[in-house]
Structure 1
Amino acid sequence: MIIHVDNVKKKYKKEWVLKGINMKVEEPNIIALVGPNGSGKTTLLNCMTNILKLDEGSITLLDQPHTDTSIFKEVSYLQDNRILYGHLTAYDHLKFICDVQKIPYKKIKEVTDRVGMSSYVKRRVQNFSLGMKQHLLLAMAIINQPKILLMDEPLNGLDPTSAINMREILLQLYEEGTTIFVSSHNLDEIDRLTHNIHFMKDGALLKESLKDMDSVTYSIKTNDDDQANLLLKENAFDVQLQKNRGITFSERDVSLQHVMKLLHDHDFTIISVDNKVEGAEKRYRELFEEGSV
């Protein structure tokens, strides 16, 4: 079992913030945690990493109690930038993690290149923009190549290009076998990351998946989108050519596998394939807008 949260309850003074949270993750996945401020998202993440003590229930990560500090060689938690030290450089932060976890220093260059912060790794954090701090937090979180990556609002302060890069890195980590548990208010990016969404409201878990709610929309870019679009339409595929997105279609109408095969058989080069599940915002409105049940 990768993650097992069993009837977890947490209260501040006399107010229950978490009211019996249950969750199981049995194989690598990307799970999103969505809810308004005060719903208990950060409290749950802090409980999972033993920053906050549980009042009731239990948590295991990688089949080990979450209180076992040895698991944090394989579990990382990306928190907000208040954990950073302004008088230190980005390199100082990463070097400290390497020293504690006995990671070779060569990993610093690898991870800063991957995140895209090599040009300012020797600068002091007090001179960083919000987006640069988010890059550093990500580098700190993945330098140990974790099996579980917990993330609290990782998209805060990122410009659109950086947000896209963040998404691509997270998808790559997932493909490499990392389970990612991410809290975010950015519903558009969440839709692009995963359909496994946990909605939280007033300390309770309301919804565990949008898998069957909405269809995935695919966008494919090729070496010649105009000709590829014509070929697909000639073969009765229900597709559209959209500016800046390439050829788009819904999985309800068209099989991605069939599209890819036809393009491959006609020697088109696939440059990129993007997918988006149109569902998080719709469900969020149902659950949290005024007047919803």
Structure 2
Amino acid sequence: MIINVQGLKKSYKKQLVLKNITFQVEEPQIIALIGPNGSGKTTMMNCLMNLLPFQEGEITILGKKNTDPSLFYEVSYLQDNRVLYGDLTGADHLNFICHAQKLPARKAKEIAAYVGMDKYAKKRVRSYSLGMKQHLLLAMAILNEPKLILLDEPINGLDPTSAIHMRHILMDLHAKGSTIIISSHNLEEIDKMTNTIYFMKDGEILEESLEKLNIAHYSIYVSNSERARDIFTTNKLPVTMEADHFIFSEADLALQQVIDTLNENDVKIRHIENKKIGAEKRYMELFESELRK
């Protein structure tokens, strides 16, 4: 078991921020944590990493209580750039981690080159742009090749090229066996890299499979909707009829089967629209009231 969270509750004074959070991660995957600011994403990450106390619940990481000091060598947490020291260089940060993690000094240079910051590793962090700081934070997070990595807004401040490079790095780490939990507002990138999405709303988790979100939904416009309605009713096909078109999911019905059925019955197809739910659309459904505000 990689992560086991049972009945996690966290309050700030009288405000309940995390409400009975329960979930398990049994095998390596990339999990996205999505929700509006203030929904509890960072609080939950801090609780997982034993940086915040909580009122109720139990957390185990890699079969150990999250308070076990030995987890320091097996997990990593990329926080925001406030953890960086402006008077130190990027190399200073990486060398310190090598020393603390008992890693060979050469790892610092290797990881700097791997994430693409070797050209400015010896510059003081106070001179770094936001994107450069994100590169350094990523290098620090993956230096010890952790089994579990938590990343809080790692794509923030990155240009498209750097964002794509980071996505490839994270997917490569996952392919090597790491589990990654990533909090991000970049829903387009989330759709491309994650296996599972945890939407956080009102201090609770709503789990969604990305496979489910990426199932195609078709809208087909036809020349004779009444005729089409009769055909689908007779054949007991799972479609939803609208005024001049009908809708169905690829999970319930193959597109080619629908096309063949219509052609066999001389119903002309005018137009086919292919849509996926995706993280963004699901977010809009869940947080409609927040979006209106």
The whole-number CA distance in structure 2 between the counterparts of 1:136 and 1:278 is 34
The whole-number CA distance in structure 1 between the counterparts of 2:159 and 2:134 is 11
Corresponding position of 1:85: 85
Residues 90, 124 of structure 2: 8 Å contact kept:
yes
Corresponding position of 1:192: 192
Q: Under a length normalisation based on structure 2, what TM-score does the superposition of the two structures give?
A: 0.78
Change (3 A) 1:27 1:112: same
Residues 151, 183 of structure 1: 8 Å contact kept:
yes
The whole-number CA distance in structure 2 between the counterparts of 1:196 and 1:48 is 18
Seq. identity, %: 60
Change (3 A) 1:189 1:278: farther
Map 1:259-274 to 2 at 5 A.
Answer: none
Change (3 A) 1:71 1:291: closer
RMSD of Structure 2 on Structure 1 (CA): 1.9
The whole-number CA distance in structure 2 between the counterparts of 1:195 and 1:278 is 15
The whole-number CA distance in structure 1 between the counterparts of 2:78 and 2:255 is 38
After superposition, the C-alpha distances for 1:164-192 in whole angstroms (9 at most, x for unaligned) are 00000000000000000011110000000
The whole-number CA distance in structure 2 between the counterparts of 1:48 and 1:42 is 10
Which residue identity is paired with 1:280? A
Which residue identity is paired with 2:281? K
Corresponding position of 2:284: 285
SS at match of 2:209: coil
After superposition, the C-alpha distances for 1:47-68 in whole angstroms (9 at most, x for unaligned) are 0000001110011110000011
SS at match of 2:19: strand
Which residue identity is paired with 1:8? L
Residues 151, 183 of structure 2: 8 Å contact kept:
yes
After superposition, the C-alpha distances for 1:93-136 in whole angstroms (9 at most, x for unaligned) are 01111111101011111111110000000000000000000000
The whole-number CA distance in structure 2 between the counterparts of 1:37 and 1:69 is 30
Which residue identity is paired with 2:191? D
Corresponding position of 2:19: 19
Residues 11, 17 of structure 2: 8 Å contact kept:
yes
The whole-number CA distance in structure 2 between the counterparts of 1:104 and 1:97 is 10
Shift of 1:214: 2.4
The whole-number CA distance in structure 1 between the counterparts of 2:277 and 2:69 is 39
The whole-number CA distance in structure 2 between the counterparts of 1:88 and 1:253 is 58
The whole-number CA distance in structure 1 between the counterparts of 2:255 and 2:114 is 36
Corresponding position of 1:121: 121
The whole-number CA distance in structure 2 between the counterparts of 1:35 and 1:69 is 30
Corresponding position of 1:144: 144
Residues 115, 135 of structure 2: 8 Å contact kept:
yes
For the pair shown, the structure with the greater C-alpha radius of gyration is: 2
Corresponding position of 1:173: 173
Corresponding position of 1:267: none
Give unpaired runs (5+ residues) of structure 2: 217-249, 257-275
After superposition, the C-alpha distances for 1:70-112 in whole angstroms (9 at most, x for unaligned) are 1120100000000000000000001111111101011111111
Corresponding position of 1:222: none
After superposition, the C-alpha distances for 1:240-262 in whole angstroms (9 at most, x for unaligned) are xxxxxxxxxx99779xxxxxxxx
The whole-number CA distance in structure 2 between the counterparts of 1:61 and 1:195 is 20
The whole-number CA distance in structure 1 between the counterparts of 2:103 and 2:210 is 38
The whole-number CA distance in structure 2 between the counterparts of 1:209 and 1:181 is 14
Residues 147, 179 of structure 1: 8 Å contact kept:
yes
The whole-number CA distance in structure 1 between the counterparts of 2:64 and 2:113 is 32
- Runs of 4+ in structure 1 deviating by more than 3 angstroms, as ranges, are 250-254
The whole-number CA distance in structure 2 between the counterparts of 1:198 and 1:278 is 15
Corresponding position of 1:52: 52
Which residue identity is paired with 1:152? D
Map 1:221-240 to 2 at 5 A.
Answer: none
Give unpaired runs (5+ residues) of structure 1: 217-249, 255-276
Shift of 1:206: 1.9
SS at match of 1:132: helix
Which residue identity is paired with 1:159? D
Corresponding position of 1:37: 37
Map 1:208-227 to 2 at 5 A.
Answer: 208-215=208-215
Shift of 1:278: 5.4
Q: Under a length normalisation based on structure 1, what TM-score does the superposition of the two structures give?
A: 0.78
Corresponding position of 1:65: 65
The whole-number CA distance in structure 2 between the counterparts of 1:189 and 1:18 is 26
